[in-house]
Copies of this chain bind each other. A is one copy, B any other.
Amino acid sequence: MVSPINPMLKEPLPEKDSTAGIERPLALLKHIPEDPVPLLGLANHSIVSARQFSHEQIVQLCRLAAKHEAVPVQTRRPLVGKILISAFYEPSTRTRLSFESAWHRLGGDIMSITDPATTGIAKGESLFDVAEMLNNYGDLVVLRESSNDAIYEMLKALRIPIVNAGNGTDEHPTQALADIYTMFKWRPELMDEHVAEGHRAKIGVIGVPSRMRTVRSLLYLLSLFPRSFEEVVIFCGEDEVFAKNQRENLKELGLNLRVSTELNKELPNLDIVYINSIAWVGDSYEELGKEFKLSAASPLKKGAIVMHPLARGDELATDLDDTPHNWYFAQARSAVFIRMALLTCLVQLNW
């Protein structure tokens, strides 16, 4: 008798699950009236920090992202003829591919630089000179760099927009956009000016705001919606939780911030749990806060969602994958659509 073929090869592709369907982006889309004016201010701008966005820009960007996600077949290709320069000098799958996927879905072409050793930088070319060259070769640059300052050095020479895809320990503003868009897909009413008391959200952030760029950028965006996110609890075992002035700034911006080390005691009260345990330092990364772990056994509130912005390690058990708490997969998916929304606004207006 012939050996049987692997049964997996007989199975058809699985259906999309509910967090990956079109219902939720469609609900978000309908929840928000369209207002193109705030987005006009983004045209021909570089995005380096989450602090550059206004409340209204975030709302309209999320609306535009939802439109892209709710209409899977792209009927228009607004970036045909436009070239993205994708410069990732640190290892990355999801950020690079989601930027490139977003650009391609809008019809644009891409040139990648994945290794500084294959560029003029290896011959001692300055970042200023590299940026001056890039002006001529493309229409927008996406940069990931292990240094906090490289992007500012390039800004001095650039006449095309640059988008920060992670600069050292500083910021990762488009990841924060994907994060908050995911939260709004989960509960569109969080975008409202006045959220009723029972509908506000408490967020737990497992991470180190002083050194984790995703956390740093996310806190800025959350501070634009202080009534929606009524409390942010930081879980952090490090000595230096905040960078200089960081906590004071966030407070001033309206964020209700608290630090804790007792994760399991707080979990039953949290609506959103955001876990991050990698901080980039120079060319390498540190694992931090590994004492804070989540699994199906964690005392999560009913209906609470778990988010994770990066490649998962031990800190997030796979036994959560098939529970309704799993919104980290939806979050990765969100990244494509929010980047589509942002990129069209930066490059040209007729989206």
Residues in A lying within 8 Å of B, measured CB to CB:
1-3, 5-6, 8-9, 12-16, 20, 44-46, 48-49, 51-52, 73-74, 77, 81, 83, 85, 88, 91-94, 97-98, 100-101, 104-105, 107, 109-115, 117-126, 128-130, 132-138, 152, 155-156, 158-161, 245, 249, 252-253, 278, 285, 310-313, 318, 329, 332-333, 335-336
Contact = CB atoms under 8 A, between A and B. Distances in A.
A122 B91 contact: yes
B119 A1 contact: no
5 tightest A-B contacts by CB? A125-B311, A120-B311, A93-B120, A104-B109, A101-B137
Contacts of A14: 159
A118 B92 contact: yes
Contact of A91 (B88, B123, B155): B123
A159 B13 contact: yes
B3 A249 contact: yes
A13 B128 CA distance: 15
Contacts of A109: 104, 109-110
A332 B5 contact: no
Contacts of A129: 311-312
5 contacts: A92-B120, A93-B130, A98-B136, A101-B138, A135-B333
A99 to B, nearest CB: 10
Contacts of A310: 120, 123
A8 B131 CA distance: 15
A20 to B, nearest CB: 8
Central interface residue in A13, A93, A156, A249, by most chain B CB within 10 Å: A93
